[in-house]
A and B are shown apart, each in its own frame.
Chain A
Amino acid sequence: MSEPICLLEAVNLALARSLQDDPEVILFGEDIGHNGGVFRATDGLAHRFGAHRVVDTPLAETMIAGTAVGMATQGLRPVVEIQFMGFIFPAFEQLICHAARMRHRTRGRLSCPMVLRAPFGGGIHAPEHHSESTEALLAHIPGLRVVIPSSPARAYGLLLGAIHSDDPVIFLEPKRIYRASRTLVEDNGAALPIDRCFTLREGSDLTLIGFGAMIPECLDAAEQLAERGIDCEVIDVASLNPIDYDTLLASVAKTGRAVIVHEAPGKGGVGADISAVLGEQLWGQLRAPIIRVTGLDTVMPYYRNEMHYLPGVSDILDAVNKSLEAGRDEILQATGSG
């Protein structure tokens, strides 16, 4: 691939590569065939690989998930699309009661090597039900892997990793950054591990932890903080279940400070879980309380007010400042110079 591509095109590239390399891969969903998907994630794939491999379905999300489960039990690798995460709920019973359990239920005889893709998150001025981030509901379920990319290269590698996985994977695409940036992505078929965090920037003062569309915000904040001489480590969680706690714990043990950022409401969110584990494991090594910067505990507003709901760089900077101040107070108290 000689041209730089965006995250959306990287998804398309990984899907094409999978269809090319593995005859057991089959794509289906609403409008993904001739139309190429409402975001064009499957653009050109039906034409290139045929309508039997890139298949339009009737409009029924439960059916999309349940049929994928059935297909996967027979050894195919269905990669299905739910058009927006706001429409994923009819699929929950199939994902939670069957996809997540099939290997467990049959003591390893049948498995569910399926990928369910869905665009998620706000910031694109979409109608109701088109902007939510409900990843925590899925990350809560034992047996379901939940993977979220935050760059074109990680979208390509993680989606390949998801398709190669013998477990069911929910692959959530941060649509706000579908076309945000372009980078060169080599179409080499190399998968990225879907159970690891990615340390995007090394630093010693504080760990910024996020995923999806919040990663560019975290990197931007880290850049601004660097100008003030504050050295942030930025970690893309990428896999929300299971979470690579080894990487997170090592980083926060080093920095002593953590700020966790996500778009979803804070209550019961993935940030709460990460915060709890960091607190349990690093008691005594933390230099400040762990702070979460999250969406608000209310319904995602329609788009006129969405930027009042979504966390941004200034919210991250505020949280970092709070974390640094908390530490400073303690140091001042400890040295008796306050």
Chain B
Amino acid sequence: MRDIVFKTEIALTRYLSADGKPLDTLPPWCSAAEPLTTYYRWMVLARQFDQKAIALQRTGQLGTYASSLGAEAIDVVTGHLMTPADVLVPYYRNHALQMIRGTPMHDILLYWGGDERGNSGAAMGRDLPNAVPIATQTLHAAGAAAALKYRHQPHAVVCLCGDGATSKGDFAEALNLAGVWHLPLVMIVNNNQWAISVPRHMQCAAPTLAQKALAAGIPAEQVDGNDAIALHEVIEHALVRARSGKGPSLIEALSYRLSDHTTADDASRYRAPEKLKEAWQNDPIRRLRHYLLDQGLWDDAQERACLDEAQNRVQSAVEQYLATPPEPVECMFEYLYAERPEQLSGQIDSARIRGGGSA
């Protein structure tokens, strides 16, 4: 006798075509201007910020920068659906999401401009800072979610990672624990098809990345990561589940990295130009703009005003960033321990001398 003991399926949610045409009956809220026009404005802002950051890097005014081009819808929708009491555990590509959570734009520039204060998240409550080592933050998310559960707080932890992160043990261990401990965790995988130069099909032989959560007993689904309406529906559902004690879930958001990995990368070495051209057809901003225009929720005048406002905001953040002097050298030691060991005091003087004595 042979019984089937486990069977499953992974759903993919998508509401709009690449041209913004409804593919199905839309949720009723989509006929109103809000929140979709707010989403749109933020997505435009995110892209303006991204373009400016790259320009700053190319002109020697910013360090290596990880672009978020193509991930705007994921960041913006997630940011708007989270409450202040939810906890964000980002990776290093969630600039717009961090801005929505309260990080000033010039802090994000400071971070990529080599200044630790840019990662301090002064206005971020208990959100975690950027995590650079891939997938390590997924475990922090599990721990933060365990803390919420331990204190009986009805909030959610939202963790983001890329497709490369799903190959790491940390990711599997985090999901495994979230399943066993029934944690209020929403894990969002931004599957942008590339981990630097390694394409999705060389990352994992499974047809979806979402199904990795099923091995941990966690419900999982895919969503079109370029479709703000679909993202809203799927993420909202997962957040409500987490906050109401129904446990973790995983969302694999299908997107495309429209940029290089970082400004230190050159994707033309490994990515065919026609692939990129094709991916631009699915641009999340274009898709939402077409939808809003078709519905009469947006017009050209609004578009111009929106762009102007975004450019002004970015410009003023850039000015603030460029006008910020470096952090005093003693800060190298200031935050290492709760109280600075006396024996480190001598090294502060050494640090000052090494810098040419200017600090």
Q: Do A and B bind each other?
A: yes
CB of A98 within 8 Å of the partner chain: yes
A74-B126 contact given A63-B176, A66-B174, A105-B116, CB 8 Å threshold: yes
Q: Assess the B139–A74 pair: CB atoms within 8 A.
A: no
Set of chain B residues within 8 Å of A76, measured between Cβ atoms:
147, 150
Interface of B is mostly: helix
CB of A199 within 8 Å of the partner chain: no
Could you tell me the distance between the alpha carbons of A107 and B128 in the complex, rounded to whole angstroms?
A: 12
Which residue of chain B has the shortest Cβ distance to A96 in the bound complex?
B133
Q: Assess the B129–A110 pair: CB atoms within 8 A.
A: yes
CB of B87 within 8 Å of the partner chain: yes
CB of B337 within 8 Å of the partner chain: yes
Stretch at the interface among B61-69, B117-125, B187-195, B221-229: B117-125
CB of A58 within 8 Å of the partner chain: yes
Q: Assess the A109–B121 pair: CB atoms within 8 A.
A: yes
Of the candidates A60, A63, A65, A165, the one having the most CB atoms from chain B within 10 angstroms of its own CB is A63
Set of chain B residues within 8 Å of A145, measured between Cβ atoms:
337
Q: Assess the B180–A70 pair: CB atoms within 8 A.
A: no
Q: Assess the B139–A69 pair: CB atoms within 8 A.
A: yes
A98: contacting residue among B140, B148, B174, CB under 8 A: B140
Set of chain B residues within 8 Å of A278, measured between Cβ atoms:
none
CB of A54 within 8 Å of the partner chain: no
Q: Assess the B173–A60 pair: CB atoms within 8 A.
A: yes
CB of A62 within 8 Å of the partner chain: yes
Set of chain A residues within 8 Å of B35, measured between Cβ atoms:
none
Q: Assess the A70–B177 pair: CB atoms within 8 A.
A: no
Set of chain A residues within 8 Å of B140, measured between Cβ atoms:
66-67, 69-70, 73, 98
CB B155 to nearest CB in A, in angstroms, measures 11
Could you tell me the distance between the alpha carbons of A26 and B146 in the complex, rounded to whole angstroms?
A: 11
B174: contacting residue among A63, A75, A109, CB under 8 A: A63
A97: contacting residue among B89, B124, B133, B337, CB under 8 A: B133
Question: Could you say which interface size class chain B belongs to?
Answer: 35 or more
Could you tell me the distance between the alpha carbons of A53 and B150 in the complex, rounded to whole angstroms?
A: 9
CB of B154 within 8 Å of the partner chain: no
Could you tell me the distance between the alpha carbons of A103 and B129 in the complex, rounded to whole angstroms?
A: 11
Q: Assess the B338–A74 pair: CB atoms within 8 A.
A: no
A66-B143 contact given A73-B128, A110-B128, CB 8 Å threshold: yes
Set of chain B residues within 8 Å of A103, measured between Cβ atoms:
335-338
Q: Assess the B87–A74 pair: CB atoms within 8 A.
A: yes
Interface string of A74-103 (1 = CB under 8 A from B): 111010000000000010011001100011
Could you tell me the distance between the alpha carbons of A74 and B85 in the complex, rounded to whole angstroms?
A: 12
CB B216 to nearest CB in A, in angstroms, measures 10
Which residue of chain A has the shortest Cβ distance to B216 in the bound complex?
A58
Q: Assess the B143–A58 pair: CB atoms within 8 A.
A: no
Q: Assess the B335–A104 pair: CB atoms within 8 A.
A: yes
Q: Assess the B341–A66 pair: CB atoms within 8 A.
A: no
Interface string of A22-60 (1 = CB under 8 A from B): 000010000000000000000000000000100001101
CB of A167 within 8 Å of the partner chain: yes
CB of B160 within 8 Å of the partner chain: no
Q: Which residues of B contact A (CB under 8 A)?
A: 87, 89, 116-117, 119-122, 124, 126, 128-129, 131-133, 136, 138-148, 150, 169-170, 173-174, 176-177, 180, 331, 334-338, 341, 343-344
Nearest first, the 4 closest Cβ-Cβ pairs linking A and B are A70-B143, A66-B139, A70-B140, A74-B147
| A-B contacts, 14 listed (Cβ < 8 Å) | A60-B173, A63-B170, A63-B174, A66-B138, A67-B146, A68-B143, A70-B139, A70-B145, A76-B147, A98-B136, A103-B337, A106-B129, A106-B335, A167-B337
Q: Which residues of A contact B (CB under 8 A)?
A: 26, 52, 57-58, 60, 62-63, 65-76, 78, 90, 93-94, 97-98, 102-111, 142-143, 145, 165-167, 195, 242-243, 245
